[in-house]
Amino acid sequence: MNNNAPVGVFDSGVGGLSVLAEIRQRLPNESLLYVADSAHVPYGEKSPEFIRQRCREIAQFLLGQGAKALVLACNTATVAGAADLRELYPDLPIVGMEPAVKPAAATTRSGVVGVLATTGTLKSAKFAALLDRFAGDVRVVTQPCPGLVEQIEAGDLNGPVTRALLERYVQPLLAAGCDTLILGCTHYPFIKPLLRQMVPADISLIDTGAAVAKQLQRLLAERNLLAWPSDVKQHFWCSADPQKMQSVLPALGLDNAEVMAFK
Ligand code: DGL
């Protein structure tokens, strides 16, 4: 495998771009391929079987494009499809995401932690196992957030509808005494500035993008697969209307990115 082969990253939509940004920052020499499965967003309300199948198709496409590693930049896809992909491709470095329960449980002062995530993530056996393993005595209050991903997909990061939805989801967590909120969906870092305005300054907001970039670095280094400085490439595909995704990208901090159609 060529060190300068790209890393394949995917999500149900634009959420994984929050992870892509962390990878770009930590591993500036890596070429990156990104697939947004926008024709099927949100994954949060879909069956694990459906998502698993999408993961297989996208992984196959990214490997066909020469990817040397895969990042499931989506918590919901990780609970549904990561184990399956690891079984299919045992030698491939595959990085998944999970809500940051471990660091939150280690740092909470109030002993109450809130998790904002999709319904699919919160009702998965993998999430239950994560709580069993790391929550300890900490009380973990979960909050599914239907509708929020759609707002972010539309590039609406602080309009009245997004604001009202987020208020509705965050208030019960604050009322329960949470001093730490876990952003358990890769779309949510894009509304972190809005969330920051809504919660007291001493509430910690934790997401997993940086930890995922670090884990990718570790897996690539272990296999001697880190890229050498060279001409770094970045390509984007989307399974819905590429123009529509392209028009949203500047709001998410990506200017001049061309998006291609993924079938
Ligand atoms: N970005 C995703 C996640 O991290 C999924 C959002 C969705 O499609 O429901 O869970």
**d(CA 192, ligand 1 centre) in Å:** 15
Structural domains in the chain (count): 2
Q: Bridge partners of 205?
A: 181
Task: Indicate left, alpha or beta for 253 from its phi (over 0: left) and psi (-120 to 50: alpha).
Answer: left
Q: Bridge partners of 130?
A: none
Q: In the annotation, is 145 catalytic?
A: no
For residue 127, being part of any structural domain is answered with: yes
What predicted TM-score, i.e. pTM, was given to this entire model?
Answer: 0.97
Same domain, 188 and 143: yes
Same domain, 78 and 134: no
Same domain, 63 and 129: no
Which tens digit of pLDDT belongs to each residue from 151-174? 999 999 999 999 999 999 999 999
Same domain, 108 and 192: yes
For residue 1, being part of any structural domain is answered with: no
Contacts of 192 (CB under 8 A, 6+ apart): 183, 205, 207
Nearest to 7 by CA among 110, 134, 95: 95
For residue 131, being part of any structural domain is answered with: yes
The residue among 206, 225, 243 that closes a domain is 206
Residue pair 73/97 in contact by the 8 Å Cβ criterion: yes
CA–CA separation, 184 vs 30, rounded Å?
25
Residue pair 183/205 in contact by the 8 Å Cβ criterion: yes
Q: What is the mean pLDDT of each run of 10 residues along the chain (263 residues)?
A: 94 97 97 98 94 98 98 97 98 97 97 97 96 97 97 96 98 98 98 97 97 98 94 95 94 91 89
Task: Quote the pLDDT of residue 40.
Answer: 97
Q: Which atom of ligand 1 is nearest to the CA of 186?
A: 4
**Alpha carbon separation from 109 to 99, 106, 168, 189 (Å, rounded):** 19, 9, 24, 23
74 lines ligand 1 (CB under 6 A): yes
Same domain, 25 and 64: yes
Same domain, 92 and 108: no
CATH of the domain at 251: 3.40.50.1860
Same domain, 93 and 213: yes
Task: Quote the pLDDT of residue 241.
Answer: 95
Same domain, 106 and 197: yes
Same domain, 176 and 251: no
Task: Quote the pLDDT of residue 230.
Answer: 86
Domain that holds residue 49: 7-97+209-261
Task: Quote the pLDDT of residue 109.
Answer: 97
Mutation choice for ligand 1 from 9, 10, 12, CB with most ligand atoms inside 8 A: 12
